[in-house]
Amino acid sequence: MARHNELGKEGELLALKMLKAKGYTILETNWRDYKAEVDIIATDKDELVIVEVKTRSTDYFGDPEDAVGPAKARNLIRAAEAYIEQNDLDMDVRFDIVSIILKNGKAVIRHIEDAFYAADF
């Protein structure tokens, strides 16, 4: 597996551990619908939370969360709509980003709740 793929998987495991520690219930990981993939789908109290995990080894090119642009946001929104429809859910939805810089075995994790709103896209 390529190093960037290993880094991404390690970041997703760290994100899962952090979300569970915060009391989130994990429903799905790496959920796919056609072209869209959601890293983590969870619930936090009465909200469905769609989580995008971005892991980098450095912030030299900017913060990891900066990689979630409008196109990625629209894909996540479409995936959330598909997940809600497929599972016949009636819940508020929130979009979070877990931003991780993993360097020399140390992780800096930032959880950004309400990172963007579907109405903005």
> pLDDT tens digits, residue range 4-43?
568 789 999 999 999 999 999 999 999 998 878 899 999 9
Would you state the pLDDT for residue 60?
82
Q: What angle do CA 36, 41, 47 make, to 5 degrees?
A: 120
pLDDT at 1 over 60: no
Q: Kindly give the residue spans of alpha helices, DSSP state H, lying in the chain.
A: 3-21, 70-86
Q: In angstroms, rounded to a whole number, what is the distance separating the alpha carbons of residues 63 and 78? A: 25
Each residue's pLDDT tens digit, 62-119? 899 999 999 999 999 999 999 999 999 999 999 999 999 988 879 999 999 999 988 8
Rounded CA separation 74/35 (Å) = 12
Question: Could you give the CA distance from residue 102 to residue 76 in angstroms, rounded to a whole number?
Answer: 24
Show the tokens assigned to 111. 């959880």
CA 33 centroid distance within chain: 15
Q: What domains sit in the chain, N to C, each tagged with a CATH number?
A: 3-120 (3.40.1350.10)
How far, in Å, are 31, 94, 118, 120 from residue 115 at the CA level? 19, 8, 10, 11
Please give the structure tokens belonging to residue 78.
Answer: 């479409």
Q: Which two tokens stand for residue 93?
A: 């939805």
Please state whether the predicted TM-score (pTM) of the whole model is above 0.85.
Answer: yes
User: For residue 38, what are the β-bridge partners?
Assistant: 31
What is the reported pLDDT for 3? 62
